[in-house]
Structure 1
Amino acid sequence: MELSNPTQENVIFMIEQIKEKLRMVNVDAMQADQFNAEKYEDLLYLYNMVMKRESFSLSEMNAIVLELGELRK
């Protein structure tokens, strides 16, 4: 998927991929429609970082979830 354009479709794609990669238990707490393209560059950076990794420690997962919380509308 081409992620260079800050579209809502790309935001939704990245959030869904992050949730899947982290195997988030409470996926309802992180709805893709809670994010917009306003903070697209930050979300893209986080997405790329998450997708590069094979696994995460508990503290890393907590930090990622906190960062996602900061990026919500």
Structure 2
Amino acid sequence: MNLEEATNANLSYILSELAEKLQVVNRTIMQPEDYDLEKYEELKFMYDMVIQKGSLSASETQAFLDELRAVRR
């Protein structure tokens, strides 16, 4: 899968993976239709950081969730 392209399928994949890695309980905040493809690069950057980091502290997880709220429609 080439995540460099801003497509709806890639957006769905990134959000699903972020929800899993951040252990999001309320998955309704991770619905792809709530995010613009224009914000894809920001979401991809967050995804890359989470994947690279591996495990996150509680405060890091909260910071990522706050950033996701900021780019959500």
Same fold (TM over 0.5): yes
- Extract unaligned runs of 5+ from structure 1: none
* Percent identity (aligned): 37
Q: Deviations over 1:37-65 (max 9, x none)?
A: 11111111001001112211111011000
Tell me the equivalent position of 1:64.
64
SS at match of 1:46: helix
Tell me the equivalent position of 1:26.
26
1:6–1:40 CA contact under 8 A, matched in 2: yes
- Extract unaligned runs of 5+ from structure 2: none
TM-score, structure 1 length as denominator?
0.89
TM-score, structure 2 length as denominator?
0.89
The RMSD of aligned alpha carbons is 1.1
SS at match of 1:6: coil
User: Which ranges of 4 or more aligned residues in structure 1 deviate by more than 4 Å?
Assistant: none
